[in-house]
Structure 1
Amino acid sequence: MTFDRRTFLRSGLALGLGCWAWGRSSRSMGHALASTTNQKWALLLAAGQGGGGISSDRQALAGCTTDKQLLEDVLQGHYGVKSANVAGLDPQEITLPALETLFENHLRQQVQKGDSVVVAFSGYGSYNPPASLATNPTWEQALSYLGLCLTGEGEKEEQILPLTTLVSWLQSLKTKQVYLLLDCGFNTVVEDFRGNLRARSAGRGGRLPPEANISNPLPKTNLGNVTLISATSPGQTAVEIQLGKQSAGLFTLALTQSLWENGSANVMPSLWDHSRNLLVPRLGTEQIPQWRSPNNSSDFFSPTAPGMAGEGIVTTLVGNNSLQGHIFAPIPLVQKRALLHSCYWAMPGIEQGDSIITGDNLDRPSNSLWQVQNIKGETVTLTAIAGALTAKSGIDQSGKAVTPEVLAKVDSQTLLGSTLREMYRAIPKNLALTVALAHDLERIERVDATSAFGAIATVEAVINAGEGSADCVFGKLETHRYSLFTEGGNPLQPLTKSESSGAVKTVVSALDACLNRLLALKWLTLLANGDTTQLGVALTLTQQTSGDNPLPRLVYQWRSTRFPHSPQDHSSGNGGNGIPNAPPTFLPTVATNQALQCQLENFGNEPLYGFLIGANNRGLNVAGILRPDLKLLQSKEQLTWPGPEDPLWMIGGDKAIAHWFLILSRFPLPSTAMALGQQITGNNSTNPPGLENYPPRVLVLKNILPVVLALVQDLASHSVTVAPVPEDMALLSTTDWLSLPIMYQVI
């Protein structure tokens, strides 16, 4: 009996042989990927065409090609994948025969032992499980019923590539360093979101494999040596979002930003932070990304030059004082003009012998600072802030002086391919909301809603859902009942039947509190800079446990990575102070009736002012305050807040998601302290009672928006003048503040 190539690839033998041949390696995946003797390969697949046959009414996805380009940019620009080693298919090209041929020629015939391979797919996914399958199955249980929709141009019939087939192809490669990236949904139904999101689930598209029946069950399948990084879980959705004239998968946006900003192979913690911040506010827990690896590793490809992490890359030199590049940050999802006028440091890498001296190891050239002047699609144009390029003395990673001959290499040509790192962020002094009107509203309801929202100061625009990015969606709960929803369709504010019923204008007038909170969170998200802040801070959030031998449980851990001379973290295997470590999770969970505790550390030589603010799981606006003047941390201080003997943060109430921000500043926050006094005491005078009589605990705010606006005012009062910005904007230095999102789910 003989097998040709296609029979082998399509059969289950490849899957079985791949599992049998795979052995767990004790060598670090990161070291294997960093090897200079092995090559890196990429196969990038953009599907998302409208369905054929019975699925012909399914709309084409707009963001899959963008996903493909984003991944190609970061793999080549930050991970050193050669252009000849990158291949792919666009939506009009992707058919099963075309994919089989490309996989054979590009990967199976060329990849050698020890090479690293990434295969990425963006498009529609299908999930056709039997009724007997568990509601929340594992990947091993669901793998046989998952498929990828391939429908190239001119194809009349839906083509489904079983995920087991793709996994078997990957396991047939000579290497064991294989990564499969999926940005597609696996819901059994096709969702119709209310806002500017489009689902990537094709439902039960395709037929169940003929061998999958009760009398002849499928053999057990597994991922073997393949590391799976998926936008969602079996049975869940995945979405793309419109970005002006382009669209992209939300998960791919988070993934590519994490890859650019990472200076090591350990990607998972950053990926969970970025994807959580993008997905949870819009979808809650409807899209939960997954990472499955054979040895529980959180590593991805090692960057070409470790430490060269940033927010973008220089792609073109326009002239002596101008360049073009790509900046990968989700800030435009919050405010369209956010990147405009912000300033970035271009970090060239200089070869000296066998080492690479990165921008972190050099004194900054006088014009290494560049300001964004124009944004067109994914391309930004930046101009130099200083004059001609001059290099100063520097040291390499070993502390040895860098010779003038080496420094002479830092010329304009060296900037090509340089990493762009945020140094100063331009923020508007005014910000408002965009409300989208859901498709289920009648014409007269739209007219009334547009008029009612137009009279609210926190709203700047009212659009139809799907016409552009929106902060929320106004639509129907049921006939003659209305509410505000996230773009993913989750109600934003619980309304009583009387509040949500009646005339549209009456219901809109009851939404002031919800709109104020939305705008406050929009401001805090615009200020979020956990990856770029240069404040030296570490945060550990733990929950006390009960029982005979209670130990604190690690909920969330974060440490700033761009603080100069940041101390090494030697707490391997624990979260500090003996707290057992846990693998990073997409959405941390906390249990009711147990106390939370926050541990903060200031590495710097200056005191830091700050507080915690946000919305708790009960839906209340809250703030955590330690001292009346908001001085939170002395220099070099380690703080446990609250103390073990005073567990003030007892978790109770609804089983929902809490959304906090840790705010820190090098400067005092007098306006913020006054606003907190007004909102906590209920006294709105210009001289409200101080916070001296309030204990260091979580306190309820009557209105969160005035506090956040006061914070913006305090930060803007210390804006810098290194570059010109319009009068309605302020330029903030990343050395001056931190806004860190913290989310957890109460269970």
Structure 2
Amino acid sequence: MKRRTFLQRIGSILAVLGVTEAEWLTLGSRYYQALAQSNPRKLALLIGINQYSQNPSLSGCLTDVELQKELLMHRFGFPASNILTLTEEQASREFIEAAFLEHLGKQARPGDVVVFHFSGYGTRIKLGTDTVQNALVPADLQNNQNVNYLLEETLLLLLRSLPTDLVTAVLDTSYYAPTIQPPGLRIRARPELVDTELASAELEFLKQLKTQNSSSKGEVIPPLLLTATVDPKQSSREVLLSGFSAGLFTYALTQYLWEATPAKTIQVSLSQVESSMRKLGSKQQPALLNSKKNSLLADNFVFDSTIGAEGAIAAIEEDGKTVSLWLAGLPPQVLEYYGVNSRLSLVTGEQLILRSRTGLTAKAQLSSLDSTTPLQVGQLVQEAVRVLPRNINLIVALDTALERIERVDATSAFATVPHVSTVVAGEQPADYLFNKLLQTPTRYGLFSAGGEPILNSAGEVGEAVKVAVQRLAPKLPTLLAAKLWRLTENQGSSRLAIKATLEIINSISPRVVMQRETMRTVSSETSTNKSLRIQNSALSTAIVPIGSRMQYRLQNMCNRPIYFILVGLKNSRSAIAFYPWQTPSEPDSAQTTPLVKQLVIAPGETFTLPQSAAASEWVIAGPAYECEHQLIFSTTPFTETLTTLETAKNSTTDQQPIGPVLNPLEVAQAILQDLHNASPVKAEINGTAADSYVLDVNNWATLSFNFQVA
């Protein structure tokens, strides 16, 4: 289709492009600064393609566009009329380039915000005899032996041609298709085609851009480029969540942006996005590429909405008391189990009670039907009460590559394991995947939802399916326990003012590895410490060297004492906990069973973990492993949790600060019960407390730390 026809079809919508991707750049100070300004125009183009005629369909690209659009409208106040989306067959190379030229290029002025976003396939193509380039795959990808790709070089030249320094491109795609496809996953990369040539129109357009760029006067301003992977050979993946699929990176990033505040370092922001991706079972790492590296995000600008949220009112029903909510700000692992009677607060103080939920949308009612408070579309909602079911199972997906008899045997075997359910991979969300090893198809093992093999979960060659399940059964309660305590994560919504820093102790001063803090309570003054130096780059997982002495520094900025515990998972298979051993008051005491004590931080005080001089020898031993810690805080003691820990840990000789948890599932259930007991609001939710955990954001906080020991 000719460009004139394209412009006639798009019509007036093209006259006012909005910024959708600008949200993504919330990770760069230029991006935050742009959002803070009220006068500049904000122009953006969102592109998502699921259906490709000559490739397997993707599932999450249209959801990505929706996630971005809703985020921009409700979190940052962009009018819907300012957001242009090109999806499916509309997203041809010609349409994309025409939209860029006519409505980004012709409208952008110095100081304006311009954002480009793409979700779909990427690939590589050979140009000439030696050059190989990255390319985005549009909807009209191939015509005989000519491929109609949009070269990454073309896109970068278009971005650099804009007269503003607030230009951002976000690419949720990748370019190298793995030789062996990970089980149960959709990868946003198509194999490089041989014996094909790039469409002559694209080559001619690229030539024109190069000519214009070389003849242009003044400084060429580099765009800020946010990509789904830090390694060019990593794969951008999709994930099946509660009733929808999405780009793993897009969902993790937009969820973070709903709750985030601007006073964050790039390192902290990307670290938390990557941490969220890891909880969904992937080692994919995002990247922020920018020639002007700003280590801090601007913290002195006024936003359309200065508060974080878990979602917003998307529609109001005729009675004026019932609303439709968009809840993309909830952590993905929580969304699946976010139960009826959960409560969300409006800025006005009114509360909404959740009545039903499907995917990212929910129905809710005002808690007081006599309220005269007018509800409005776009009002932000913040989590107040989280209701979780007590009967949560571990979900194991059976890969469709298994033979029918293998799936039958696996279903039968898993049915005998308590608290475990099975589904067909790709049809429903799952926590783990049961499948054959790719390299040795006669061995069975367990994989994360992101396709990563669980260490030491593979059996011997020729092992029967039922034997494999029986072998895996003892590991499953630990994985379920980790699932349960991850459901308590609420860094974004907690009303307890807590900050936790992971440090390596040395002879000079502690070296900061990671820092987490509750977002809704800590002021920008305390949350941006300009003297803080994060040890590791945000583009890679935090690393603690083997042999390090480690500690946590915990700050209670509340006006009441706070109790806490630490639990975790090592190599996705072994549960661990911090044991605060209690020293007998009398040396000759007849007490033979060691006891653990409550850990409490006084108001306004800082607590180091381990606390005593002897326990400070928390030396990280080898070999290398991956670790996930949950620091869980409460306004009341963890009575049931410590009792449960003592039940299984009675050794008097091995009183190390970090030790294995022998009954992890019981400990996880006790944690949830303790948090439930700490929530006085449970008495107000009739008929819910018996079969659910009711957690009040005013009474608990959970901060998550993921790092690698190497």
TM-score normalised over the length of structure 2? 0.83
- Counterpart CA distance in 2 for 1:153 and 1:27 is 36
- Cα distance in 1 for partners of 2:182, 2:30 equals 42
Partners in 2 of 1:654 and 1:468 — Cα distance?
36
| Per-residue CA distance 1:686-732 (angstroms, 9 max, x = gap) | xxxxx9x9757112222322211111222223442344454412321
Shift of 1:541: 0.6
Residue 188 (structure 1) shift: 4.1
Partner of 1:594: 548
> What's the counterpart of residue 199 of structure 1?
187
2:677 to 704, 717, 720: 717
Structure 2 distance, partners of 1:105, 1:118, is: 14
Matched ranges for 1:492-511 at <5 A = 492-495=454-457, 497-498=459-460, 502-511=463-472
1:380 aligns with 2:362: yes
State the shift of 1:583 in Å: 6.0
For 2:672 and 2:377, the matched residues in 1 are separated by 36
- Residue 267 and residue 382 in structure 1: after superposition, are their counterparts in 2 closer, same or farther (change >3 A)? farther
- Alignment partners' CA distance in 2, 1:171 and 1:566: 36
Q: Is the 8 A contact 2:285 2:539 kept in 1?
A: no
Task: In structure 2, give the amino acid aligned to 1:637.
Answer: E
DSSP-derived class of the 1:535 partner:
coil
Give the drift of 1:554: 1.4
Q: Given the superposition, is the C-alpha separation of residues 223 and 490 from structure 1 closer, same or farther in structure 2, using an over 3 Å criterion?
A: farther
Whether the 8 Å contact between 2:88 and 2:139 is mirrored in structure 1 is yes
Q: Which residue, out of 94, 97, 102, partners 1:100?
A: 97
Distance in structure 2 (CA, Å) of the matches to 1:508 and 1:609: 39
2:511 to 537, 553, 575: 553
What is aligned with 2:427?
467
1:433 paired residue number: 394
Match of 1:648, as an amino acid?
E
Residue equivalent to 1:184 = 173
TM normalised by structure 1 equals 0.79
C-alpha distance in 2 between matches for 1:175 and 1:245: 39
1:326 is matched with: 326
Partner AA of 1:378 in structure 2: L
Q: Cα distance, 1:155 vs. partner?
A: 6.4
Partner secondary structure for residue 482 of structure 2? helix
Inter-partner Cα distance in structure 1 for 2:251 and 2:90:
24
CA contact (8 A) 1:80 1:303 kept: no
Deviations 1:261-288 (A, max 9, x none): 1233758466435532432244443x11
Deviations, residues 552-594 of structure 1 (Å, cap 9, x unaligned):
321101121223x75841863223xxx6776645521111111
- Secondary structure of residue in 2 paired with 1:150: coil
Distance 1:190 1:73, change over 3 A: farther
The farther-off stretch of 317-326 and 525-534 is 317-326
Q: What is the 5 A alignment of 1:87-166?
A: 87-127=84-124, 145-152=133-140, 158-166=147-155
Partner of 1:4: none
Cα distance in 2 for residues equivalent to 1:454 and 1:115: 58
Query: Aligned-pair distance for 1:679?
Result: 2.7
Structure 2 unaligned residues grouped into runs of 5+: 1-27, 204-209, 582-595
Question: SS in structure 1 opposite 2:154?
Answer: helix
AA aligned opposite 1:322: T
Q: Quote the Cα distance in structure 2 between the aligned partners of 1:439 and 1:303.
A: 51
Change (3 A) 1:346 1:270: farther
CA deviations on 1:228-273 (whole Å, 9 max, x unpaired) are 1111131110111223553111111112112221233758466435
Q: Provide the residue aligned with 1:39 in structure 2.
A: 41
Show structure 1 runs of 5+ residues with no match.
1-25, 134-141, 213-217, 348-358, 391-410, 683-690
Q: CA deviation at 1:663?
A: 1.3
Alpha-carbon distance in 1 for matches of 2:370, 2:267: 39
Contact 1:201-1:238 at 8 Å conserved across structures: yes
1:631 match: 599
Determine whether 1:453 maps to 2:414: yes
Partner-residue secondary structure (3-state), 1:569: helix
Give the counterpart letter for 1:555 in structure 2: V
Matched with 1:254 is 252
Is 1:327–1:379's contact at 8 Å kept on the other side of the alignment?
yes
The one-letter code sitting in structure 2 at the alignment partner of 1:561 is: M
Tell me if the contact between 2:161 and 2:220 (Cα under 8 Å) persists in the aligned partners. no
**Counterpart-to-counterpart distance in 2, 1:681 and 1:249:** 46
d(CA) in 1 for partners of 2:335, 2:409: 26
- Deviation per residue, 1:620-658 (Å, 9 max, x gap): 321113352322322222112235955432222232311
Q: Please tell me whether the aligned partners of residues 312 and 379 of structure 2 are also in contact (alpha carbons under 8 angstroms).
A: yes
Is the CA contact 2:77–2:305 (under 8 Å) kept in the aligned structure 1?
Answer: no
Cα-to-partner distance string for 1:32-77 (whole Å, 9 max, x where unaligned)? 54222211111101124325xxxx2x21112111111111111122
2:526 to 569, 586, 592: 569
- Identity across matched positions, percent: 27
**Alignment match, 1:407:** none
Given that 2:147 and 2:197 are in contact with CA atoms closer than 8 Å, whether structure 1 keeps it comes out as: no
Residue 688 of structure 2 corresponds to residue 738 of structure 1? no
**CA deviation after TM superposition for structure 1 residue 303, in Å:** 7.2
Structure 1 distance, partners of 2:36, 2:239, is 34
> Structure 1 residues 567, 69: closer, same or farther in 2, change over 3 A?
closer
- 8 A contact 2:121–2:136 mirrored in 1: yes
Shift of 1:412: 0.6
Provide the aligned length of Structure 1 versus Structure 2.
643
**Kept in 2: contact 1:441–1:476 (CA 8 A):** yes
Q: Which residue of 2 aligns with 1:68?
A: 65
Q: CA deviation at 1:431?
A: 0.9
Aligned counterparts of 1:449 and 1:421: Cα–Cα separation in 2: 42
Q: 2:505 aligns with which of 529, 544, 561?
A: 544
Matches within 5 A, 1:612-691: 612-617=566-571, 620-626=574-580, 628-642=596-610, 646=614, 647-681=616-650
**Structure 1 residues 129, 738: CA separation in 2 closer, same or farther (over 3 Å shift)?**
farther
- Contact 1:315–1:325 (CA<8 Å) still a contact in 2? yes
Does 1:238 find its partner at 2:225? no
Report the aligned-residue RMSD. 3.4
